[in-house]
């Protein structure tokens, strides 16, 4: 009945997944099935040893079933749900390991194994490797002689050797559990935020004669029966998604998957042999794993140093004179170790470190978070953010790991981790606060930061960059319980975000251009005095952006701007690359017009508008202003031909038709620096000659000259008289926006 215990564990795991997916009834049904199976197992076992094995599983199952029955909504915290939602990694299921009152779910043999189609590489040999079932001797005999051969995964093999050198070989052996027949194994790795287990076949790839001395998996040169490290390797390769077509990793990342120790990669160019002494001391104490990487190196230099370009090495010894390195491919009889003189230390590229943070620090806290696709590259408000608060009277050193989850067949999306100091809640844009640590883009699965937080201050950690939906796990270590990590909140009561775009029809460019008033604009009605308001607009960094706030009259609500009146503007800032922001204080009730502009009128692309303010949500009403002059729009033009007057006949078929006429000079949009003749326009009844609208002021506004009127009579002709201050040449454009269709005929038309 032992196999039924493993079945119970698998059912409870499936119940957790269903609950995380929001399938509460399904989660309850699965858990009830698990509970009934656990009950049958308890009634079947009579041997005390078997009962000791079964009771923790049964107790855990019954407790979970009862929790689902009482309140399924609260059975899992959000962070835990994310761990269960990320079980599928490159097509294989990796369930989080359960911790029972006594022991782990890893201690129980697998019911079965996943039928995973394993990819094999091109070996350059005449034959294709064949998978065969093998068993493995327990223990660590020959472990120190593990080596790689055909598979170029030096980083993983060296991680195994490095951990063994720390006298932690027994921990590695506990990562593997067999079934009775040894045709399946269960392997545990630290991946996607926690310890996870997978059941796989015990088959390994072998070659036949004459290549039977070659091997694709990690193997001991002195104990051919030591196969369990190859099972860990097989699970590791499945987790990375490329199987035996291994594409590379590094020791820091691989050791993290095996031990969960925080990985750090340092450039040797920023270190010295003297600084290595402290690291070696921690290594001797078992608090740190150490490795070196050559990086890409000239063949001549690699030959001189007797190393291989693009390979890793375990640091097995240290003195002021140099280092002793262990390579991953040679047997003990053919130069397993390499002595590196201190004078050539700088020729290597990387130092790989793995910190035993749980031994170095007293307190830890972890949480998982979803990072949605970014709305803006320049704004950070929608990025995952956490406050790191030090409420003690002393500066505290902390360590943080940020793990990018592997999901299905998706690669690691480039991301950055930044810590900003002396913050107040969420960071809105990168230059808002001083960056205390991080900031560089990375594609490492796990990123490590170590820094200090001043006494009685708050820092904010921001994860930015990933283009898709990504799950991250953050883990914080500190020496003091006074250091806390919690989700950051905006510093304003209300947040409004708007996604919009500049297109070829509504990018009017900067305020010196005729089409500026065609830019996207919003009407803001402020109903109550606002102590603070923050506004930001952002787009691609190579584009300069800005926005303007102008006072408007309530009677002109939702009517497009007709001028850029600097006397009505609240502030006038220069254009900024990528993002422009401004904070207003003591904003009085009234109507404001917000105009978002791009300095380059040819730019086409999306932008993100952000408004934050204190007070109640109803204190601000924001509404986009229609771009068109009217429901129906038309444009006609004429040539002055040394005239200073021109007439149009306008007719409508509908009573009380509202019309806006807009006069503009030239065939192309104007700029402030170009000459424009002053013009005016009036409207008359064509039959009675009575004026409808008369203008006596001349205007040469770059934004155009506007005339508003109402055509009261249907099927009746009106005359639009356009006048120029002096005679001359050139084109005049007339745009008509109306509430119903118009017919327009110029005096030159027959």
Domain CATH number, residue 302: 3.90.70.10
Terminal Cα-to-Cα distance of the chain (whole angstroms): 101
* Structure token digits, residue 702: 């770059």
Q: What is the pLDDT of residue 503?
A: 92
- Mean pLDDT of the chain, nearest integer: 91
Residue 119 placed within a domain = no
Task: Measure the CA–CA gap between 561 and 485, rounded to whole angstroms.
Answer: 47
Q: What is the domain range of residue 578?
A: 494-624
53, pLDDT greater than 80: yes
Render the burial of 454-468: b for 16+ CB within 10 Å, e for the rest.
eeeebbbbbbbbbee
How is residue 512 annotated by DSSP? T
180 or 443: which leads in pLDDT: 443
How is residue 257 annotated by DSSP? H
266, pLDDT greater than 90: yes
Task: Measure the CA–CA gap between 217 and 226, rounded to whole angstroms.
Answer: 11
Give catalytic residue positions. 154, 311, 327
* Structure token digits, residue 367: 């949480």
**C-alpha of 265 from chain center:** 21
DSSP, collapsed to helix, strand or coil, labels residue 152 as coil
Task: Measure the CA–CA gap between 382 and 380, rounded to whole angstroms.
Answer: 6
How is residue 476 annotated by DSSP? E
347, pLDDT greater than 90: no
Give the number of other Cβ atoms within 10 Å of residue 294's Cβ: 19
Task: Measure the CA–CA gap between 743 and 717, rounded to whole angstroms.
Answer: 10
* CATH code, domain with 506: 2.60.120.380
Asked if 428 and 610 touch (Cβ cutoff 8 Å), the reply is yes
Provide the domain count of the chain.
6
Task: Measure the CA–CA gap between 679 and 722, rounded to whole angstroms.
Answer: 7
Residue-wise DSSP of 271-322: --HHHHHHHHHHHHTTSEEEEEE--S--HHHHHHHT--TT-EEEEEEEETTE
pLDDT tier at 50, thresholds 50, 70, 90:
confident
460 and 432, same structural domain? yes
Q: What is the pLDDT of residue 332?
A: 46
Q: How many CA atoms lie within 13 A of 653 on its CB side?
A: 3
Closest C-alpha among 383, 419, 2 to residue 180: 2
338 and 370, same structural domain? no
Average pLDDT estimate for 167-185: 88
137 and 92, same structural domain? no
419 and 318, same structural domain? no
Closest C-alpha among 461, 415, 163 to residue 290: 163
Q: What is the pLDDT of residue 593?
A: 94
Q: Which backbone phi and psi does 422 adopt, to 5 degrees?
A: 55, 55
Residue 507 placed within a domain = yes
Domain boundary pick from 624, 642, 664:
624
Task: Measure the CA–CA gap between 31 and 517, rounded to whole angstroms.
Answer: 63
Closest C-alpha among 265, 702, 330 to residue 512: 702
Residue 122 placed within a domain = no
Q: Which backbone phi and psi does 522 adopt, to 5 degrees?
A: -130, 145
Residue 736 placed within a domain = yes
Q: What is the pLDDT of residue 750?
A: 62
Pairing of strands 350-355, 288-293: antiparallel
Sorted by sequence, the CB contacts under 8 Å of residue 579 that are 6+ apart come out as 376, 378, 379, 429, 536, 537, 538, 545
1, pLDDT greater than 60: no
Asked if 459 and 410 touch (Cβ cutoff 8 Å), the reply is no
Domain boundary pick from 355, 376, 411:
355
Residue 124 placed within a domain = no
pLDDT per position as a tens digit, 540-597: 777 999 999 999 887 777 888 999 988 899 998 999 998 999 999 999 999 999 999 9
Average pLDDT estimate for 365-374: 92
Torsion over CA: 197, 406, 473, 278 (sign):
positive
266 and 250, same structural domain? no
Residue 121 placed within a domain = no
Task: Measure the CA dihedral 172/471/98/157, to 10°.
Answer: -10
* Structure token digits, residue 436: 């205390």
Asked if 651 and 736 touch (Cβ cutoff 8 Å), the reply is no
Residue 115 placed within a domain = no
* Structure token digits, residue 322: 């140099």
**C-alpha of 99 from chain center:** 31
103 and 138, same structural domain? no
65, pLDDT greater than 60: yes
Task: Measure the CA–CA gap between 308 and 297, rounded to whole angstroms.
Answer: 8
Q: Where are the beta strands (DSSP E) in 134-193?
A: 146-147, 176-178, 184-191
Asked if 119 and 242 touch (Cβ cutoff 8 Å), the reply is yes
Domain boundary pick from 197, 229, 259:
259
499, pLDDT greater than 60: yes
Q: How long, in residues, is the chain? A: 750
215 and 254, same structural domain? yes
Task: Measure the CA–CA gap between 337 and 57, rounded to whole angstroms.
Answer: 46
173, pLDDT greater than 90: yes
Closest C-alpha among 584, 594, 587 to residue 523: 594
617 and 498, same structural domain? yes
Residue 239 placed within a domain = yes
619 and 502, same structural domain? yes
* Structure token digits, residue 199: 């059941």
CA angle 528, 532, 536 (to 5 degrees): 115
Q: What is the pLDDT of residue 392?
A: 95
Task: Measure the CA–CA gap between 690 and 718, rounded to whole angstroms.
Answer: 10
33, pLDDT greater than 50: yes
Asked if 544 and 612 touch (Cβ cutoff 8 Å), the reply is no
Total H helices, total E strands in the chain: 11, 43
pLDDT tier at 334, thresholds 50, 70, 90:
low
* Structure token digits, residue 219: 């193997």
Task: Measure the CA–CA gap between 419 and 459, rounded to whole angstroms.
Answer: 7
Strand ranges across the sheet with 470-478: 363-371, 470-478, 396-404, 446-453
- Among 128-137, 333-342, 612-621, 690-699, name the most confident range: 690-699
Burial bucket for residue 132 (CB in 10 Å: 0-12, 13-18, 19+):
exposed
Question: Which helix (H) or strand (E) element contains residue 150?
Answer: none
pLDDT per position as a tens digit, 634-648: 999 999 999 999 999
330, pLDDT greater than 70: no
674 and 720, same structural domain? yes
DSSP, collapsed to helix, strand or coil, labels residue 80 as helix
514 and 477, same structural domain? no
Q: What is the pLDDT of residue 331?
A: 53
pLDDT per position as a tens digit, 665-682: 999 889 998 999 999 999
Give the number of other Cβ atoms within 10 Å of residue 367's Cβ: 20
Closest C-alpha among 322, 344, 319, 324 to residue 335: 324
Q: What are the CA-CA distances from residue 426 to residues 384, 404, 487, 491, 650 (Å)?
A: 9, 21, 9, 7, 57
Sorted by sequence, the CB contacts under 8 Å of residue 271 that are 6+ apart come out as 351
185 and 87, same structural domain? no
* Structure token digits, residue 619: 């204190």
Closest C-alpha among 482, 484, 463, 462 to residue 388: 484
């Amino acid at each position: 009945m032992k196999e039924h215990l493993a079945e119970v564990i698998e059912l409870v795991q499936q119940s957790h997944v269903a609950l995380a997916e929001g399938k509460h009834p399904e989660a309850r049904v699965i858990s009830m099935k698990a509970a009934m199976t656990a009950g049958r197992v308890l009634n079947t076992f009579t041997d005390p040893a078997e009962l000791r094995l079964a009771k923790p599983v049964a107790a855990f199952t019954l407790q979970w079933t009862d929790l689902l029955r009482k309140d399924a909504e609260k059975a899992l915290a959000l962070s835990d749900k994310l761990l269960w939602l990320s079980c599928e990694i490159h097509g294989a299921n990796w369930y989080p390991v359960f911790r029972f009152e006594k022991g782990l779910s890893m201690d129980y043999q697998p019911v079965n194994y996943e039928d995973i189609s394993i990819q094999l590489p091109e070996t350059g040999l005449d034959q294709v490797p064949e998978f065969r079932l093998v068993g493995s001797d327990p223990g660590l005999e020959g472990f120190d002689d593990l080596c790689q051969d055909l598979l170029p995964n030096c980083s993983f093999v060296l991680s195994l050797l490095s951990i063994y050198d720390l006298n932690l070989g027994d921990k590695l052996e506990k990562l593997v559990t067999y079934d009775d027949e040894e045709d399946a194994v269960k392997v545990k790795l630290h991946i996607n935020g926690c310890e996870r287990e997978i059941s796989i076949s015990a088959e390994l790839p072998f070659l036949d004669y004459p290549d039977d001395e070659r091997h694709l998996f990690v193997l001991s040169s002195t104990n051919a029966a030591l196969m369990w490290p190859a099972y860990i390797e097989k699970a590791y390769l499945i987790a990375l998604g490329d199987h035996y077509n291994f594409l590379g990793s590094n020791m820091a990342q691989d050791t993290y998957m095996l031990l969960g120790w925080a990985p750090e990669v340092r450039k040797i160019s920023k270190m010295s042999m003297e600084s290595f002494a402290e690291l070696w001391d921690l290594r001797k104490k078992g608090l740190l794993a150490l490795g070196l990487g050559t990086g890409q190196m000239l063949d001549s230099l690699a030959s001189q140093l007797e190393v291989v370009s693009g390979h890793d090495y375990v640091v097995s010894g240290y003195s002021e004179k140099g280092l002793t390195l262990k390579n991953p491919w040679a047997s003990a009889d053919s130069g397993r170790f390499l002595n590196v003189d201190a004078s050539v230390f700088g020729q290597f590229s990387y130092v790989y470190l793995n910190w035993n943070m749980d031994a170095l620090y007293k307190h830890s806290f972890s949480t998982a978070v979803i990072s949605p696709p970014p709305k803006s590259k320049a704004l950070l408000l929608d990025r995952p953010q956490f406050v790191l608060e030090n409420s003690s009277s002393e500066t505290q050193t902390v360590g943080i790991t940020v793990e990018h989850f592997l999901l299905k067949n998706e690669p690691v999306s480039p991301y950055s981790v930044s810590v900003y100091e002396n913050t107040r809640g969420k960071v809105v844009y990168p230059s808002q606060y001083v960056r205390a640590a991080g900031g560089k883009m990375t594609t490492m699965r796990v990123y490590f930061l170590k820094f200090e937080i001043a006494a009685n201050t708050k820092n904010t950690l921001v994860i930015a960059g990933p283009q898709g939906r990504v799950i991250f796990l953050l883990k914080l270590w500190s020496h003091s319980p006074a250091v806390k990590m919690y989700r950051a909140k905006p510093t304003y009561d209300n947040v409004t975000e708007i996604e919009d775009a500049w297109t070829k029809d509504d990018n009017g460019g900067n305020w010196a251009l005729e089409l500026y008033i065609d830019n996207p604009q919003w009407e803001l009605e402020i109903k109550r005095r606002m102590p603070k308001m923050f506004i930001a607009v952002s787009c691609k960094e190579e584009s300069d952006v800005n926005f303007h706030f102008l006072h408007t009259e309530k009677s002109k609500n939702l009517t497009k701007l007709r001028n850029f009146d600097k006397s009505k503007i609240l502030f006038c800032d220069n254009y900024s690359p990528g993002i422009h922001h401004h904070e207003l204080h003591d904003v009085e009730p009234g109507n404001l017009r917000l105009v978002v502009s791009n300095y380059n009128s040819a730019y086409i692309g999306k932008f993100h508008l952000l408004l934050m303010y204190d007070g109640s949500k109803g204190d601000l009403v924001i509404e986009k202003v229609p771009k068109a002059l009217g429901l129906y729009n038309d444009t006609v033009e004429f040539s002055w031909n040394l005239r200073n007057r021109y007439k149009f006949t306008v007719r409508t078929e509908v009573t009380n038709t509202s019309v806006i006429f807009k006069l503009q000079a030239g065939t192309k949009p104007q700029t402030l620096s170009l000459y424009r003749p002053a013009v005016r326009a009036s409207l008359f009844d064509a039959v009675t000659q009575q004026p409808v609208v008369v203008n006596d002021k001349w205007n040469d506004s770059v934004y155009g000259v506007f005339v508003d009127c109402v055509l009261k009579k249907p099927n009746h002709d009106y005359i639009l008289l356009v006048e120029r201050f002096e005679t001359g040449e050139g084109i005049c454009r007339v745009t008509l926006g109306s509430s119903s269709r118009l017919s327009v005929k110029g005096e030159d038309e027959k």
